[in-house]
């Protein structure tokens, strides 16, 4: 991953640029980077603030996996980022299902996976990764609590090194998934999961479902225990909140 890089000073969204390049035939691993995004996107149609100094990156993935594996790939990306921040800066990052990377209750990074075309025919996933890097949190007008590496570490980091390490770790996790070794990734993910074994609320449209967060299923869905049954939810349209 990341052997070919498409870099721009400014883009609307690196995911959109990566999609365009994928439609033009970009190969597995092509990585799009931008210093700033004017219209960065988050999950659930939210906007993602992307000032200069952050890592705004999208990878074209054409893995040997099926559509059902798309959410596993985004979970693997969370693990890759968590491992990277541990290795480079000894930071302990938690994961809020499915892919919010949290430091002391504040969001540090997020992941947006988008399938291009018919997965069954072209098998392309655009994996967007955003890490709040070298800027103060005041530059974010988010409604949710957020932090940045600059705030946490007190110095500016090398964004190229960060990107390279994340891609290296992601490449390893993807190979595990292709070899059907889901459990190794799942156990790493689970060790960092926020709220595991605790009461949570799931918001799906107008519905609110309460239960105990039991873990993630073999296909990467969230397992919720309600009463005496277990229900699973895929990442698509839900929000998770601690009670």
- Report how many residues bind ligand BTN under the rule CB under 6 A: 21
Min dist. Cβ of residue 81 to ligand BTN (A): 11
Pattern 107-146, binding to ligand BTN, x per CB under 6 A?
---xxx---------------xxx----------------
Closest CB to ligand BTN among residues 216, 235: 235
Say if residue 107 carries a ligand binding annotation.
yes
d(CA 125, CA 119): 8
What lies within 8 Å, CB to CB, of 80 at 6+ separation is 166, 169, 170, 172, 173
Could you say whether residue 13 binds ligand BTN (CB under 6 A)? Answer: yes
For residue 186 the two structure tokens come to 């799942």
Closest CB to ligand BTN among residues 13, 123: 13
Say if residue 15 carries a ligand binding annotation.
yes
Could you say whether residue 103 binds ligand BTN (CB under 6 A)? Answer: no
d(CA 217, CA 194): 16
- Using only the alpha carbons of the chain, give its radius of gyration: 17
Question: Nearest residue by C-beta to ligand BTN?
Answer: 110
d(CA 155, CA 147): 14
Q: Are 98 and 222 in contact (CB under 8 A)?
A: yes
Give, as one character, the DSSP assignment of residue 221: P
Range list of β-strands (E), the chain: 5-11, 31-37, 55-61, 94-96, 100-103, 106-116, 124-131, 199-204, 207-216, 222-226, 229-233, 238-242
Say if residue 41 carries a ligand binding annotation.
yes
What lies within 8 Å, CB to CB, of 19 at 6+ separation is 114, 116, 126
Min dist. Cβ of residue 181 to ligand BTN (A): 26
Element housing 21 (H / E): helix 14-23
Could you say whether residue 37 binds ligand BTN (CB under 6 A)? Answer: yes
Please report where in the chains the tokens 């969001």 appear, as a residue.
107
Could you say whether residue 83 binds ligand BTN (CB under 6 A)? Answer: no
Closest CB to ligand BTN among residues 111, 221: 111
Which of these segments, 13-21, 198-206, 211-219, 230-238, binds ligand BTN (CB under 6 A)? 13-21
Could you say whether residue 182 binds ligand BTN (CB under 6 A)? Answer: no
Min dist. Cβ of residue 202 to ligand BTN (A): 17
Could you say whether residue 56 binds ligand BTN (CB under 6 A)? Answer: yes
Q: Which residues are annotated as a binding site for biotin?
A: 13-15, 37, 41-43, 107
- Residues of this chain that bind ligand BTN (CB under 6 A): 13-15, 37, 40-43, 46, 48, 50, 56-58, 100, 110-112, 128-130
């Amino acid at each position: 991953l990341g052997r070919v890089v498409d870099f721009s000073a400014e883009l609307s969204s690196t995911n959109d640029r990566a999609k365009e390049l994928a439609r033009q035939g970009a190969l597995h691993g092509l990585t799009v980077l931008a210093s700033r995004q004017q219209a960065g996107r988050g999950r659930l149609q939210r906007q993602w603030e992307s000032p200069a100094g952050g890592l705004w990156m999208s990878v074209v993935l054409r893995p040997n996996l099926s559509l059902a594996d798309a959410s596993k790939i985004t979970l693997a990306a969370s693990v890759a980022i968590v491992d990277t921040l541990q290795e480079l800066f000894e930071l302990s990052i938690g994961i809020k299902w499915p892919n919010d990377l949290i430091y002391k209750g504040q969001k540090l990074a997020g992941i947006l996976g988008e399938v291009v075309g018919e997965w069954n025919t072209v098998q392309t996933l655009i994996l967007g990764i955003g890490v709040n890097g070298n800027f103060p949190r005041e530059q974010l007008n988010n409604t949710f609590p957020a932090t940045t590496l600059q705030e946490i570490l007190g110095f500016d980091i090398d964004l190229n090194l960060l990107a390279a390490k994340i891609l290296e770790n992601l490449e390893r996790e993807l190979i595990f998934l292709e070899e059907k070794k889901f459990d190794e990734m799942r156990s790493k993910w689970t060790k960092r999961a926020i709220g595991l074994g605790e009461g949570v609320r799931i918001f799906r449209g107008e519905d609110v479902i309460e239960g105990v967060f039991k873990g993630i299923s073999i296909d990467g869905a969230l397992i919720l225990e309600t009463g005496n049954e277990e229900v699973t939810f895929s990442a698509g349209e839900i929000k998770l909140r601690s009670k």
